[in-house]
């Protein structure tokens, strides 16, 4: 145990870890997927793998919005920024994600007007402040972020701000989980459900996983104790042959979600018939587009978008890692050509990407120990 | 980017536009309360903030725990950078001393 010791109530963590050991059947191998990138980050940071018995394998899921975006969408967004009248605004997480001809940051160095914003509403403010420019907000994120984009578009329309548009890449979590379960090379026993996405969508949408796929799912918080308690709840279900949705993160996640946020999304977005995910291919009804009543603010309708499909660099195995088929370290480029300092794939860029998390907490530790001559 | 940031509502800035002045460890910025319209929080309430929008009401203890967790994850600096960046990086209000 490393970071867990520093956290509050280590005694309770130890007791929960003991409970996990008691519940885990030694004759079974458990594959539990944490869907959310925030969980992946926490699992590595707190060294939670070290407190779990070896027959519990945590598989990292596709819940990192930067990581699942295919390179073609980044190229499409950047093609809009070629217009000198356009300000390309995006979250900081996007800035180092490689496109075919470089990341947004590299395009900025080439003279494109590319700005970091911390909120979609700030992109709208940027438009109001620059009436002679067009501000295009490159929107990414799951249901945690999509309602904020929706509300921003509602404000743009209400205030009549017309030099503003959104290039919408919002995706939805449930179809991604469904795609993983449909994938023939995947075997997952249970899911740790995402925390903050569920603040918006609630717990009800996961019920089909439990009911139709017979997989337990526990929506969990991000603290070490939350994640371990989530695993205890999953193991109890697996022991009892149960498959239901449980909410470990009740202090933040209401069962019904955030109705105001869901209403805002419904007012602005429509489901796309299909959308491409990095490494997972096209998944039906897995993403949002801007509805016709907001067409004027839809960058895909206002601008010509090349819409070219771009395959990832051949040597990079982001797709397999994203689906949990390969561990980050099993990718040929991991830690060699691809590092957080010089990322080849998106999973190495975001702190929620499993490659970056693995590199920062596992790989560096191993490298340090090796350099000290210690057995690892 | 899916980890939310806890903040305390100091005052409502505009009821019509549902904006509030919040404090995150001494940094004060305006956030949007529009997503909590069905259960509007008020001054003194704690909320979880994500990309400039309050996502849910939480207790003070949960707020403290969340900030401690961000610190433990090594994400506190990134979280504070995000909060400072709200409002296009221009402090609209004076930060607490």
Residue-wise pLDDT tens digits, A108-141:
999 999 999 999 999 999 999 999 999 999 999 9
In angstroms, the separation between the Cα of residue A201 and the nearest Cα of chain B is: 11
Report pLDDT for A371: 54
Report pLDDT for A184: 82
How many CB pairs below 8 A link A and B?
129
Residues of A in contact with B88 (CB under 8 A): 117, 122, 125-126, 129
Q: Which three-class secondary structure string do you get for A239-268?
A: HHCCCCEEECCCCCCCCCCCHHHHHHHHHH
Q: List all residues 6 or more positions away from B43 whose beta carbon is below 8 Å from its beta carbon.
A: B9, B10, B11, B12, B20
Return the SS3 of A34: strand
pTM of the complete model: 0.91
Is B92 a residue whose pLDDT tops 50? no
Q: How far apart are CA A255 and CA A245, in angstroms?
A: 10
Residues of B in contact with A116 (CB under 8 A): 85
Phi and psi at A111, nearest 5°, equal: 105, 0
Report pLDDT for A8: 63
Closest CA relative to residue B51, chosen from B74, B32, B36, B69:
B32
Report pLDDT for A7: 57
Q: What residue of A is the nearest CA neighbor of B3?
A: A38
How large is the angle between the packed helices A146-159 and A120-129, nearest 10 degrees?
Answer: 30
Cβ separation A3–B58 shorter than 8 A = no
Report pLDDT for A319: 81
Judged by a CB distance cut-off of 8 A, whether residue B13 touches chain A is no
Instruction: Say which DSSP state A359 is in.
Output: I
Number of residues that this document lists for chain B: 97
Cβ separation B1–A252 shorter than 8 A = no
* Whole-number Cα distances in Å, B79 to B1, B41, B49, B52: 9, 22, 10, 11
Residues of A in contact with B2 (CB under 8 A): 36-38, 63, 65, 141-142, 144-145, 194-197, 352
Q: Are A321 and A327 in contact (CB under 8 A)?
A: yes
CA A43 from centroid of its chain's CA atoms: 15
Tokens representing A299 are 């960058």
Q: Which of B2, B35, B62 sits opposite A197 (nearest CB)?
A: B2
Return the SS3 of A69: coil
Report pLDDT for A302: 96
Q: Cα angle vertex A261, ends A225, A254, to 5°?
A: 35
Is B36 a residue whose pLDDT tops 60? yes
Phi and psi at A205, nearest 5°, equal: -60, -20
In angstroms, the separation between the Cα of residue A202 and the nearest Cα of chain B is: 12
Cβ separation A42–B73 shorter than 8 A = yes
In angstroms, the separation between the Cα of residue A307 and the nearest Cα of chain B is: 26
Q: Are A170 and A150 in contact (CB under 8 A)?
A: no
Judged by a CB distance cut-off of 8 A, whether residue B50 touches chain A is yes
Least confident interval from B34-38, B44-48, B90-94: B90-94
Please count the other Cβ atoms lying within 10 Å of the Cβ belonging to residue A319: 21
Sort residue A27 into left (φ over 0), alpha (ψ -120 to 50) or beta.
alpha
Q: What residue of B is the nearest CA neighbor of A142?
A: B2
Q: How far apart are CA A138 and CA A154, in angstroms?
A: 17
Judged by a CB distance cut-off of 8 A, whether residue B60 touches chain A is no
Confidence of residue B91 (pLDDT cuts 50, 70, 90): very low
Residues of A in contact with B53 (CB under 8 A): 119, 121, 147-148, 151
Cβ separation B87–A125 shorter than 8 A = yes
Report pLDDT for A375: 45
Report pLDDT for A63: 85
Cβ separation A120–B51 shorter than 8 A = yes
In angstroms, the separation between the Cα of residue B97 and the nearest Cα of chain A is: 23
**Per-residue buried b or exposed e for B17-26, using 16+ beta carbons within 10 Å of the residue's own CB:** ebbbbbbbbe
Q: Cα angle vertex A126, ends A122, A128, to 5°?
A: 115
Is B19 a residue whose pLDDT tops 60? yes
Residue found under tokens 């921003």 = A152
Tokens representing A348 are 């190495």
pLDDT in tens, chain A (376 residues): 344 455 567 788 899 999 999 999 999 999 999 999 889 988 988 889 889 999 999 998 888 888 899 999 999 999 999 999 999 999 998 998 989 999 999 999 999 999 999 999 999 999 999 999 999 999 999 999 999 999 999 999 999 999 999 999 999 999 999 998 988 877 899 999 999 999 999 999 999 989 999 999 999 999 889 999 999 999 999 999 999 999 999 999 999 999 999 999 999 999 999 999 988 889 999 999 999 999 999 999 999 998 888 877 777 888 888 878 888 999 999 998 889 888 888 788 877 788 988 888 877 666 655 555 544 3
Report pLDDT for A219: 97
Number of residues that this document lists for chain A: 376
Report pLDDT for A376: 39
Least confident interval from A242-246, B37-41, B68-72: B68-72
Q: Are A183 and A324 in contact (CB under 8 A)?
A: no
**Per-residue buried b or exposed e for A297-308, using 16+ beta carbons within 10 Å of the residue's own CB:** bbbbebbebeee
ipTM topping 0.85: yes
How large is the angle between the packed helices A224-240 and A37-45, nearest 10 degrees?
Answer: 110
Tokens representing A303 are 């601008």
In angstroms, the separation between the Cα of residue B96 and the nearest Cα of chain A is: 21
Cβ separation A120–B52 shorter than 8 A = yes
Say how many Å lie between the first and final Cα of chain B, rounded: 28
Report CA torsion sign: A181, A186, A187, A190. negative
């Amino acid at each position: 145990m490393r970071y867990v010791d520093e956290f509050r109530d280590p005694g309770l963590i130890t007791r929960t870890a003991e409970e996990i050991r008691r519940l885990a059947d030694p004759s079974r191998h458990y594959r539990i997927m944490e869907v959310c990138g925030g969980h992946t980050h926490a699992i590595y940071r707190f060294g939670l793998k070290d407190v779990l018995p070896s027959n519990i394998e945590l598989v990292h899921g596709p819940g990192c919005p930067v990581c699942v975006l295919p390179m073609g969408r980044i190229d499409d967004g950047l093609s809009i920024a070629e217009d000198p009248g356009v300000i390309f605004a995006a979250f900081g997480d996007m800035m180092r994600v490689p496109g075919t001809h470089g990341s947004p940051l590299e395009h900025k160095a080439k003279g494109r007007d590319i700005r970091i914003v911390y909120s979609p509403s700030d992109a709208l403010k940027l438009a109001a402040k620059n009436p002679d420019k067009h501000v295009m907000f490159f929107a990414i994120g799951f249901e945690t972020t999509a309602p904020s984009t929706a509300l921003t578009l509602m404000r743009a329309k209400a205030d009549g701000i017309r030099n503003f548009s959104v290039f919408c890449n919002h995706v939805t979590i449930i179809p991604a989980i469904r795609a993983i379960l449909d994938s023939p090379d995947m075997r997952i026993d249970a899911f740790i459900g995402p925390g903050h996405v569920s603040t918006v969508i609630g717990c009800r949408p996961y019920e089909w996983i439990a009911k139709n796929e017979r997989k337990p799912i526990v929506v969990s918080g991000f603290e070490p104790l939350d994640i371990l308690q989530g695993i205890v709840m999953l193991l109890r279900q697996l022991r009892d042959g149960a498959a239901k949705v449980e909410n470990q993160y009740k202090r933040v996640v209401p069962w019904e979600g955030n109705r105001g946020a869901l209403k805002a999304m419904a007012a602005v977005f429509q489901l796309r018939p299909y959308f491409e995910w990095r490494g997972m291919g096209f998944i039906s009804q897995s993403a949002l587009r801007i509805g016709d009543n907001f067409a004027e603010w839809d960058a895909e309708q206002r601008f010509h978008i090349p819409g070219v499909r771009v395959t990832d660099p051949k040597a990079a195995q982001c797709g397999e890692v994203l689906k949990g088929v390969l561990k980050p370290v099993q990718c040929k480029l991991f830690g060699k050509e691809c590092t957080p300092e010089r990322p080849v794939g998106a999973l190495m860029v975001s702190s929620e990407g499993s490659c970056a998390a693995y590199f920062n907490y596992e790989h560096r530790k191993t490298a340090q120990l090796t350099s000290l001559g210690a057995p690892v | 980017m899916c980890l939310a940031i806890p903040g305390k509502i100091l005052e409502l800035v505009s009821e019509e536009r549902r904006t509030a002045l919040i404090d995150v460890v001494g940094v004060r910025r305006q956030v949007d309360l529009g997503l909590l319209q069905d259960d509007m929080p008020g001054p003194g309430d704690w909320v979880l903030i994500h990309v400039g929008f309050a996502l849910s009401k939480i207790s003070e203890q949960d707020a403290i725990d969340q900030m401690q967790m961000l610190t433990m994850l090594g994400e506190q600096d990134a979280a504070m950078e995000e909060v400072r960046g709200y409002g296009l990086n221009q402090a609209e209000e004076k930060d607490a001393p």
